Amino acid sequence: MEFMSNLGGGSQADRPSLFELIAQDKMREMLEPALRYVIAVYAQRYPRYLIRIVNRYEEFYAVLMFFVERHYLREYGASFAENFYGLKRVRAPRVVKQAKVNIDDESVASAAAAAVVSSMPGSNKLQERDIRKSLLFLIGLPYVKCKLDEYYEKISGGEAARLFGDEFTQEEEDLTGQPFLVRSKAMAIKAFKKGYPYVNALYQLSILVHYIGYLYNKTPFYSPWLRLIGIEVKRMSAADYREIQQKAKRVPKRTSNSLIESIQNNVLGLLSGSLDFLKVLLPMSIFFFKFLEWWYQSDYYRKSSTAGDSAEVPPPERVKPHPDGIPLPRAANTCPVCLKTITNPTALSSGYVYCYPCAYKQVEDHGRCPVTLMHCRTDDLRKLYNDAGM
HEC sequence for the chain: CHHHHCCCCCCCCCCCCHHHHHHHHHHHHHHHHHHHHHHHHHHHHCHHHHHHHHHCHHHHHHHHHHHHHHHHHHHHCCCHHHHHCCEEEEECCCEEECCCCCCHHHHHHHHHCCEEECCCCCCCCCCHHHHHHHHHHHHHHHHHHHHHHHHHHHHHCHHHHHHHHHHHCCCCCCCCCCCHHHHHHHHHHHHHHHHHHHHHHHHHHHHHHHHHHHHCCCCCCCCHHHHHHCEEEEECCHHHHHHHHHHHHHCCCCCCCCHHHHHHHHHHHHHHHHHHHHHHHHHHHHHHHHHHHHHHHCHHHHHHHHHHHHCCCCCCCCCCCCCCCCCCCCCCCECCCCCCECCCEEECCCCCEEEHHHHHHHHHHHCECCCCCCECCHHHCEECCCCCCC
pLDDT score of 23 more than 60 = yes
The pTM score is 0.60
Q: Is residue 81 part of a domain?
A: yes
pLDDT score of 231 more than 90 = yes
CATH number of the domain at 378, please.
3.30.40.10
Q: Is residue 355 part of a domain?
A: yes
Domain count, the chain: 3
Instruction: Examine the domain organization and report whether 222 and 361 are in the same domain.
Output: no
How distant, in Å, are the alpha carbons of 30, 109, 128, 207, 300 from that of 218?
Answer: 29, 28, 29, 14, 53
Instruction: Examine the domain organization and report whether 300 and 226 are in the same domain.
Output: no
Q: What is the pLDDT of residue 66?
A: 92
pLDDT score of 340 more than 80 = yes
| Average confidence score pLDDT of the chain | 76
pLDDT band per the 50, 70, 90 thresholds, residue 2 = very low
Q: Is residue 85 part of a domain?
A: yes
Instruction: Examine the domain organization and report whether 147 and 34 are in the same domain.
Output: yes
Distance CA 166, CA 264 (A): 58
Instruction: Examine the domain organization and report whether 66 and 152 are in the same domain.
Output: yes
Q: Is residue 344 part of a domain?
A: yes
Q: What is the pLDDT of residue 240?
A: 84
pLDDT score of 99 more than 60 = no
Mean pLDDT of 195-216: 94
Tell me which of 280 and 131 has the higher pLDDT. Answer: 131
Q: Is residue 233 part of a domain?
A: yes
Q: Is residue 256 part of a domain?
A: no
Instruction: Examine the domain organization and report whether 342 and 235 are in the same domain.
Output: no
Distance CA 203, CA 40 (A): 31
Instruction: Examine the domain organization and report whether 302 and 322 are in the same domain.
Output: no
Residue-wise pLDDT for 233-244, tens only, equals: 999 888 888 887
Residue-wise pLDDT for 354-378, tens only, equals: 998 898 888 888 888 988 888 888 8
Q: What is the pLDDT of residue 98?
A: 47
pLDDT score of 119 more than 60 = no
Q: What is the pLDDT of residue 224?
A: 94
- End position of a domain, from candidates 229, 251, 273: 251
Instruction: Examine the domain organization and report whether 22 and 80 are in the same domain.
Output: yes
Instruction: Examine the domain organization and report whether 56 and 90 are in the same domain.
Output: yes
Residue-wise pLDDT for 58-97, tens only, equals: 999 999 999 889 988 988 889 988 988 899 999 988 655 4
Give the domain extent around 301: 265-308
Instruction: Examine the domain organization and report whether 206 and 299 are in the same domain.
Output: no
Instruction: Examine the domain organization and report whether 211 and 287 are in the same domain.
Output: no
Mean pLDDT of 35-49: 81
8 A C-beta contact, residue 130 and residue 91: yes
Tell me which of 127 and 181 has the higher pLDDT. Answer: 127
Instruction: Examine the domain organization and report whether 151 and 54 are in the same domain.
Output: yes
Q: What is the pLDDT of residue 68?
A: 87
pLDDT score of 214 more than 90 = yes
Q: Is residue 160 part of a domain?
A: yes
For residue 210, with 0-12 CB atoms within 10 Å meaning exposed, 13-18 middle and 19 or more buried, which class applies? buried
Instruction: Examine the domain organization and report whether 67 and 146 are in the same domain.
Output: yes
Q: Is residue 108 part of a domain?
A: no
- Residue (of 163, 155, 157, 160) closest to 186 by Cα position: 155
Residue-wise pLDDT for 304-319, tens only, equals: 555 555 556 566 667 7
pLDDT score of 153 more than 70 = yes
Share of the chain above pLDDT 70, in %: 64
